[in-house]
């Protein structure tokens, strides 16, 4: 199926993900995964599309700043106030050239984010639209990144969030309840401290942590990577873990506002079905990725037997193994409506029908090739219809 999209599609990966800039992508692409390189497939079908790389364990704010720099071919600026608040470096790496030529109101972009990438594209759209009052007030004139100015919503046509934990991740709630967050975080960030001295170009996996001194970029190294990792560990509010928590999701939702001129679309997945012989109980179907069957059932156990009243917050206990469907449908504090192909409106979440599958299904992880490709053909047709 040939596509002739007027505006480029920019794909943003989720937690522990990677983009087309990284060596790992040639081994197993994030977008397409076991079904093959989705970017290559879509390009061969006439679609202008790009997959970006940003910090796989960084906050949505930091990642939005990185993607903006990649799009514009500039130095990453995390913001003077933000970097002082969270005690890390203000500037990251410098991109020698933009992701593509001509990004402008005449050549807007469609942003597509999976999982935490959904929060990242929301943050980028928010900053381009409204900027940051704190950064404007706390930065000297002439020293402010254009990202924090606001008034640039005409650079984005649409935002699509797929399996995004808008209101927090159920898997995080499960891990928190059973006191798994701290040890998992300790292992993850110490691994990053050892392995995360990322190369600016051509590395197998890049953690994009220049702001914390974890980099092989000239002038940005730190002689004590474990010490840097400890700093990240102690910096409890400026990383992906906090974004996934109920508290972090609430704070991010209070920060981010929907733009009246941008089209918003959301997709939620569920791998859950009703049990035949036990009323009001559910179980996980065998997922494409078996590990997500286990996590989905663990979430169901928490909902049914551990947390009284918790189930009422979610639709039929639906989850994709990591994110509850209720969380992925739309942010709690923003307007939403069921998707209507004949009446697609900007400034409101156009919520797609709940789809069957696990958290990895929409990116092709152990999924079937044709349904994966068909999903994106339909999505691109929708996006081009609002151009």
**Residues designated as active site:** 115, 320, 359
Between CA 248 and CA 151 the distance in angstroms is: 26
Alpha carbon dihedral 288, 116, 356, 49, in 10-degree steps, equals: -90
Q: Is the dihedral of CA 217, 220, 224, 230 positive or negative?
A: negative
Q: Which helix (H) or strand (E) holds 10?
A: strand 9-12
- Site of tokens 């791998």: 271
Between CA 112 and CA 378 the distance in angstroms is: 14
Q: Which helix (H) or strand (E) holds 185?
A: helix 181-195
- CB burial class (10 A; 0-12, 13-18, 19+) of residue 262? buried
Alpha carbon dihedral 133, 139, 142, 144, in 10-degree steps, equals: -60
Q: Is residue 83 within 8 Å of residue 231, measured between CB atoms?
A: no
Provide the pairing of β-strand 9-12 with 49-52.
parallel
Both tokens of residue 211? 């702001």
Packing angle, helices 181-195 and 225-234, rounded to 10: 150
Provide the pairing of β-strand 282-284 with 272-274.
antiparallel
Both tokens of residue 277? 């012989």
Between CA 102 and CA 215 the distance in angstroms is: 30
Between CA 297 and CA 31 the distance in angstroms is: 26
Alpha carbon dihedral 150, 156, 158, 163, in 10-degree steps, equals: -70
Q: Residue length, the chain?
A: 387
Packing angle, helices 170-177 and 290-301, rounded to 10: 60
CB contact set of 377 (below 8 Å; sequence gap of 6+):
1, 3, 45
Between CA 296 and CA 303 the distance in angstroms is: 11
């Amino acid at each position: 199926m040939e596509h002739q999209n007027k505006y480029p599609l920019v794909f943003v990966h989720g937690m522990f993900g990677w983009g087309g800039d990284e060596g790992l992508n040639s081994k197993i692409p994030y977008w397409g995964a076991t079904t093959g390189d989705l970017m290559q497939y879509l390009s061969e079908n006439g679609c202008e599309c790009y997959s970006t790389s940003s910090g796989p364990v960084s906050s949505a704010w930091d990642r939005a700043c990185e993607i903006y720099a990649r799009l514009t071919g500039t130095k990453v600026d995390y913001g003077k106030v933000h970097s002082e608040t969270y005690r890390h470096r203000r500037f990251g790496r410098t991109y020698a050239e933009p992701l593509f030529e001509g990004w402008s109101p005449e050549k807007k972009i469609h942003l597509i984010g999976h999982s935490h990438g959904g929060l990242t594209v929301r943050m980028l759209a928010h900053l381009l639209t409204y900027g940051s009052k704190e950064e404007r007030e706390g930065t000297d004139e002439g020293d402010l990144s254009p990202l924090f100015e606001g008034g640039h919503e005409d650079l984005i046509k649409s935002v699509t969030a797929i399996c995004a934990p808008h209101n927090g991740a159920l898997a995080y709630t499960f891990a928190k309840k059973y006191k798994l967050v701290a040890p998992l975080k300790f292992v993850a960030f110490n691994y990053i401290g050892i392995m995360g001295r990322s190369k600016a170009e051509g590395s197998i996996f890049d953690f994009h942590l220049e702001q914390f001194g974890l980099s092989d970029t000239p002038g940005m190294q730190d002689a004590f990577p474990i010490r840097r990792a400890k700093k990240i560990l102690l910096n409890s509010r400026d990383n992906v873990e906090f974004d996934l928590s109920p508290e972090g999701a609430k704070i991010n939702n209070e920060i981010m506002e929907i733009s009246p001129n941008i089209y918003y679309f959301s997709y939620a997945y569920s791998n859950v079905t009703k049990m035949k012989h036990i009323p009001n109980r559910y179980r996980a179907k065998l997922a494409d990725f078996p590990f997500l069957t286990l996590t989905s059932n663990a979430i169901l156990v928490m909902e049914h037997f551990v947390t009284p009243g918790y189930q009422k917050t979610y639709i039929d206990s639906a989850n994709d193994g990591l994110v509850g469907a209720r969380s992925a449908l739309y942010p709690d504090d923003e307007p939403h409506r069921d998707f209507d192909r004949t009446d697609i409106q900007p400034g409101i979440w156009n919520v797609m029908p709940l789809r069957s599958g696990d958290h990895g299904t929409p990116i092709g992880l152990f999924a079937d090739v044709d349904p994966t490709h068909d999903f994106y053909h339909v999505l691109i047709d929708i996006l081009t219809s609002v151009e």
